[in-house]
Homo-oligomer: A and B are copies of this chain.
């Protein structure tokens, strides 16, 4: 381990640097200027600009250099891969630091899940900092795999990888002064507390802010952003796979206020990681929309580092981590080389293999985390369990809205035969089932959903926000049971079945959320799943995403959890039959 004394010795020119990157045009995020200079690196840190003796040199021949990019808020689980595989996907795009909220795995495994994620980040050429999930479970209307209480949060916050409290989604709890919520806020004293406050405004926003919450990534329009900005929030500009706010928010950014904005992805699925990239895609988009490239790079680097108080990250300077990108055109921002801790980690979109060799570790280590039991614990299910008995045909049906996570509450006449309710494929009223999968309680919620368009078979997934129980939509009970069986044998994941046969599947053995394979591997499996679902007549663009939000009881209007049908507007369980 190099000591401070050694770094000083090399920086002062008395010892040889490891590497000299020569003839780079350094984008200096402090001065806002670009200067042609050499950069000397020793044992992971930049020791100085200028001419140094070094053991090795790379001439970048006038290419630009800038700091590695920072994603200020991301749920890595949404990419359905482990952290080593996520790193393999994003590092070639220039991301060298992420601040992640392991909210999904925490809902399955609590503190153990968070610790597993932190452990799996070790040795990976990506700086991974953790915000500790604030809202596990999200509600009392569902059964999650775990609970994170204020004490658990406090314990986790003591870890070196923990930065603060993750997005405080329970804004009604904050505003109403819910004691359990305030205990969590107290537990995070002196740390950053991220917000999650869509459309919050006026005195409600003020109440949320006096609690010390200082950022928001759910801001979707300029009016909202203006109010949050002037009231002291950092605005996390988000471009996820679905939620995309950069175009709407960018016009608000000026040199005078830019320091309060930075880039986040929140959720990126494998397809967008492959096709668009990561934070680099946001920098490119911002530049294309006319933003000064240096300002865009500040937003992707220094600003997030400032907000999270990440010492030695987000800039290139003596004593800073040698996380350095090489790119050729200031306006194109196509990344050619990525240095992580002063060593090449990716070049021309490809990783340097020797630096990414930990993915199998994650899977094995995960098995230890659950003592080999996995995270799909379902009480054996009889055919009878899926039977819905009703005395009146009128029932509440979840009505899907294309490409949205909100649903409508519809009241429809259900197909009743001998007092038993059946799916009605002709009217696209299908059965939806949510099966508790964490503790084998046998909890099962059953309802009906309209809008999937499946003509045959069933589809199911253990990715189902926020409790990630097993959610299945099907045209018939035998195929629904087939899905249960398949997902059990996968140890979690996604599947499509029809006529008693599994047509396609994706194993997500890590908490029922993540694969042990690569982003590309997951993407090609997802592609097969999507084709299979389409072949069954489904019209929904991304049926598994639609499925994953049907059990989320905080998004209106009608949802289904393992505890039953939830009228979100009333925030309570309601009977399936009848209007009220």
21 sampled A-B residue pairs with Cβ under 8 A: A4-B177, A4-B185, A7-B211, A8-B182, A8-B211, A30-B260, A31-B229, A31-B230, A32-B254, A32-B257, A47-B206, A47-B210, A205-B318, A209-B318, A210-B319, A230-B317, A231-B317, A232-B315, A232-B317, A254-B255, A309-B309
Interchain CA distance A497-B245 in the complex, whole Å? 75
Q: A4-B186, A12-B204, A182-B4 are contacts. A30–B257 as well, Cβ < 8 Å? A: yes
Is A207 in contact with B306, judged by CB distance below 8 angstroms?
no
Interchain CA distance A249-B247 in the complex, whole Å? 37
Interchain CA distance A542-B306 in the complex, whole Å? 43
Shortest beta-carbon distance, A200 to chain B, in Å? 11
Query: How many copies of the chain does the oligomer comprise?
Result: 2
Interchain CA distance A532-B185 in the complex, whole Å? 62
Q: Which of A45, A203, A210 has the most CB of B within 10 A?
A: A210
Is A5 in contact with B182, judged by CB distance below 8 angstroms?
yes
Q: Is A423 an interface residue (CB 8 A)?
A: no
Instruction: Mark A397-435 against chain B: 1 for CB-CB distance below 8 A, else 0.
Output: 000000000000000000000000000000000000000
Give A234's nearest chain B residue, CB to CB.
B30
Interchain CA distance A174-B4 in the complex, whole Å? 10
Instruction: Mark A156-181 against chain B: 1 for CB-CB distance below 8 A, else 0.
Output: 00000000000000000011010100
Minimum-distance CB pairs A-B, first 7: A232-B317, A32-B256, A48-B206, A12-B207, A255-B255, A209-B318, A13-B203
Name the interface residues of A251-309: CB closer than 8 Å to any CB of B: 254-257, 259-260, 294-295, 306, 309
Is A5 in contact with B177, judged by CB distance below 8 angstroms?
yes
Interchain CA distance A12-B200 in the complex, whole Å? 12
Give A232's nearest chain B residue, CB to CB.
B317
Is A177 in contact with B317, judged by CB distance below 8 angstroms?
no
Interchain CA distance A182-B5 in the complex, whole Å? 7
Q: Is A49 an interface residue (CB 8 A)?
A: yes
Interchain CA distance A11-B318 in the complex, whole Å? 44
Give A28's nearest chain B residue, CB to CB.
B230
Q: Which residues of B contact A202 (CB under 8 A)?
A: 50
Q: Which of A50, A259, A320 has the most CB of B within 10 A?
A: A259
Q: A5-B177, A230-B33, A319-B210 are contacts. A256–B12 as well, Cβ < 8 Å? A: no
Q: Which residues of B contact A205 (CB under 8 A)?
A: 318
Interchain CA distance A547-B257 in the complex, whole Å? 47
Q: Is A9 an interface residue (CB 8 A)?
A: yes
Shortest beta-carbon distance, A354 to chain B, in Å? 27
Is A319 in contact with B209, judged by CB distance below 8 angstroms?
yes
Size category of the binding interface on chain A: 35 or more
Is B49 in contact with A210, judged by CB distance below 8 angstroms?
no
Q: Which residues of B contact A11 (CB under 8 A)?
A: 203, 206-207, 209-210
Q: Is A151 an interface residue (CB 8 A)?
A: no
Q: Is A358 an interface residue (CB 8 A)?
A: no
Give A26's nearest chain B residue, CB to CB.
B230
Name the interface residues of A476-509: CB closer than 8 Å to any CB of B: none
Q: Is A453 an interface residue (CB 8 A)?
A: no
Measuring CB to CB, which residues of chain A are less than 8 angstroms from any residue of chain B?
4-5, 7-9, 11-13, 28, 30-33, 35, 45, 47-50, 52, 174-175, 177, 179, 182, 185-186, 190, 202-207, 209-212, 226, 229-232, 254-257, 259-260, 294-295, 306, 309, 311, 315, 317-320
Give which listed residue, B203, B259, B260, B309, contacts A48 with CB less than 8 A.
Answer: B203
Interchain CA distance A212-B319 in the complex, whole Å? 6
Shortest beta-carbon distance, A487 to chain B, in Å? 43
Q: Which residues of B contact A204 (CB under 8 A)?
A: 12
Q: Which of A31, A186, A254, A311 has the most CB of B within 10 A?
A: A31
Q: Which of A182, A202, A232, A260 has the most CB of B within 10 A?
A: A232
Q: Which residues of B contact A207 (CB under 8 A)?
A: 8-9, 11-12
Q: Which residues of B contact A185 (CB under 8 A)?
A: 4
Q: Which residues of B contact A203 (CB under 8 A)?
A: 11-13, 48, 50, 52
Interchain CA distance A202-B49 in the complex, whole Å? 8
Give A37's nearest chain B residue, CB to CB.
B230
Interchain CA distance A7-B177 in the complex, whole Å? 9
Q: Which residues of B contact A231 (CB under 8 A)?
A: 30, 49, 317-318
Is B257 in contact with A31, judged by CB distance below 8 angstroms?
yes
Give which listed residue, B4, B30, B45, contacts A230 with CB less than 8 A.
Answer: B30
Q: Which of A190, A203, A257 has the most CB of B within 10 A?
A: A203
Q: Which residues of B contact A45 (CB under 8 A)?
A: 210
Shortest beta-carbon distance, A223 to chain B, in Å? 13
Give A306's nearest chain B residue, CB to CB.
B306
Is B174 in contact with A8, judged by CB distance below 8 angstroms?
yes
Is A12 in contact with B254, judged by CB distance below 8 angstroms?
no
15 more A-B residue pairs beyond the given contacts A32-B254, A48-B206, A309-B309, with a C-beta to C-beta distance below 8 A: A4-B177, A4-B182, A8-B174, A8-B175, A8-B210, A11-B210, A12-B175, A12-B203, A28-B230, A31-B256, A45-B210, A49-B230, A232-B315, A232-B320, A254-B255
